[in-house]
Amino acid sequence: MTDNERSTPDITPDDITPDDITRDDITAEISAALARYQATWDEQDYARLAEHWDTGDASPFYLPEEWMPGFIADWDSLRRYWDPTPGRVVIEAIRNVYSNVQAKLVAPDVAVATFDLRYDLKVVGQAPTGGDDRVLAVFVRKDGDWKFSAYAEAPLNPVALIRRLYQRSVPGDFDDYLAEHGRTPEPGAGGAPWGSA
């Protein structure tokens, strides 16, 4: 029997290792899961957010940027965080947009992902606010769908945040002004006193 004539055994999901799936593949799958999560946020139906989590896990880990006590690590607390007063509007709207997703498998049904979160939020009685976070999350595959198991938002430290705000306050035409009126530093000149861009 030649190699071409040999039959190949059926491959089951248990036979697939993290090395068999590329980072691009898993990143695309996690991006799709985040798109579904974002759609639920857009519906402003916060009680349904748990549908995107592994609710069979007794200890979810969740850390939003503003939360001071530490990780939320049980379902009652997490549901109260998402929907603090059921039936009463506390948050008029929150828009979450996920981007720059990178993911990798760490076990056949476990993935770790990093991504950026841009949020805009309107709380009753307050002016709208917004911000940017970096996020690290753990996903588990349940019945073919990726579900959150852990989620932590990592805002910039105050110095980096203030630097970013200063950078974003520069008007769009400053590059043209700089090209016309700016001076060129000598090669090897030191960097900016504020650190890296």
pLDDT in tens, 96-118: 999 999 999 999 999 999 999 99
- How many structural domains does the chain have? 1
Q: Is residue 186 part of a domain?
A: no
Quote the CA–CA distance of 7 and 16 in Å, as a whole number.
19
Q: Is residue 171 part of a domain?
A: no
Entry pTM: 0.75
Contact 128, 120 (CB under 8 A): yes
Q: Is residue 91 part of a domain?
A: yes
- Domain range holding 96? 9-156
Percent of the chain with pLDDT over 90: 54
Strand partners, 63: 152
The two three-digit tokens of residue 164, written as one number: 């970013």
Q: Which residue has the higher pLDDT, 20 or 118?
A: 118
Residues 6 or more apart in contact with residue 30 via CB below 8 angstroms: 101, 103, 111, 113, 139, 146
Question: What confidence tier does 17 reach under pLDDT thresholds 50, 70, 90?
Answer: low
Q: Is residue 15 part of a domain?
A: yes
Q: Which residue has the higher pLDDT, 150 or 190?
A: 150
Q: Is residue 184 part of a domain?
A: no
Q: Is residue 108 part of a domain?
A: yes
Q: Is residue 27 part of a domain?
A: yes
CATH number at residue 42: 3.10.450.50
**Site of tokens 């852990």:** 150
Q: Is residue 169 part of a domain?
A: no
Q: Long-range contacts: 3-9, Cβ < 8 Å, 24+? A: none
